[in-house]
Amino acid sequence: MHNAFTMNWWALLLRGIVAILFGVLAFVWPGVTLLSLVFVFAAYAILDGIFAIIAGFRAPAGMKKWWWLELVGIVSVLAGVLAFALPGMTALVLVTLIGAWAIIGGIFQIIAAIQMRKEITGEWLLILSGVASVVFGLLMMANPAVGAIVVVWIVGTYAILHGALLVALGLRLRGWRESHHHATPHPA
């Protein structure tokens, strides 16, 4: 049985690649201003949200909608739009925004993984990604006075880890889909 994740493995892969690129840029240019971080984060959150919404809406006909993935996408897009609309926000507000975004997204990823357990193996990658998001968000909320460079490094590390887990999950789902697709006899 194919589900929205196996059919749209490429969306998870793209989310992971975008996250890794964002994380690498955060380390390559650690001296970026907080304003630049706001714009980079905003673009990342919007792209991440778009890919999540696409994957949610592309659920196969007859299957229940993956509303939680669409909700993660909407929250991510809204966080990105808010960051673009208020570029002069303080570090405290940015840290709070990033933390809340990571916590909400992580919770919904954990919910998604729990629902996936009945259909495929390897859901632990999404659980781990969700837990990493929640822990990252809590750390950001616990210390909002952290300096801009430290924020860049924390966000970069999170993005690379989160992206690597999504890339791994996307590739695993692609392999799972291909193995099940080839194993199913095709009508002549």
- Least trusted range by pLDDT, from 13-17, 28-32, 53-57, 113-117: 28-32
Which burial class, exposed, middle or buried, applies to 6 when counting CB atoms under 10 A from its CB (0-12, 13-18, 19+)? Answer: buried
pLDDT at 3 > cutoff 50: yes
In a domain, residue 186? The reply is: no
| Average pLDDT of the residues in 66-88 | 84
Work out how many domains the chain is built from and give that number: 1
In a domain, residue 78? The reply is: yes
| Average pLDDT of the residues in 122-133 | 88
Looking at residue 68, what is its pLDDT?
77
Question: How many angstroms separate the CA atoms of 185 and 168, rounded?
Answer: 28
Query: For 30-125, where are the E strands, in sequence order?
Result: none
Query: For 60-186, where are the E strands, in sequence order?
Result: none
- Domain of residue 64 covers 4-180
In a domain, residue 185? The reply is: no
| Average pLDDT of the residues in 68-79 | 88
In a domain, residue 187? The reply is: no
Looking at residue 93, what is its pLDDT?
76
Question: How many angstroms separate the CA atoms of 85 and 83, rounded?
Answer: 6
Looking at residue 90, what is its pLDDT?
54
**Residue 105 belongs to a domain with what CATH number?**
1.25.40
**150: which 2 tokens?**
């430290």
* pLDDT, tens only, 136-159: 888 888 877 665 567 778 888 988
1 and 169 Cβ atoms separated by less than 8 Å: no
Question: How many angstroms separate the CA atoms of 151 and 146, rounded?
Answer: 7
In a domain, residue 142? The reply is: yes
Question: How many angstroms separate the CA atoms of 11 and 50, rounded?
Answer: 9
Looking at residue 1, what is its pLDDT?
41
Local confidence band at 77 (pLDDT 50, 70, 90 cut-offs): very high
In a domain, residue 89? The reply is: yes
Quickly list H helices, the chain: 4-7, 9-28, 34-57, 67-85, 91-116, 124-142, 148-183
pLDDT at 119 > cutoff 50: yes
Q: Provide the mean pLDDT of the chain.
A: 81
92 φ, ψ to 5°?
-60, -45
Question: How many angstroms separate the CA atoms of 172 and 6, rounded?
Answer: 9
Question: How many angstroms separate the CA atoms of 128 and 124, rounded?
Answer: 6
Local confidence band at 104 (pLDDT 50, 70, 90 cut-offs): very high
In a domain, residue 88? The reply is: yes
Looking at residue 87, what is its pLDDT?
73
- Least trusted range by pLDDT, from 64-78, 99-113, 136-150: 136-150
72 and 49 Cβ atoms separated by less than 8 Å: yes
Looking at residue 121, what is its pLDDT?
77
In a domain, residue 102? The reply is: yes
Residue 150 host element (H or E): helix 148-183
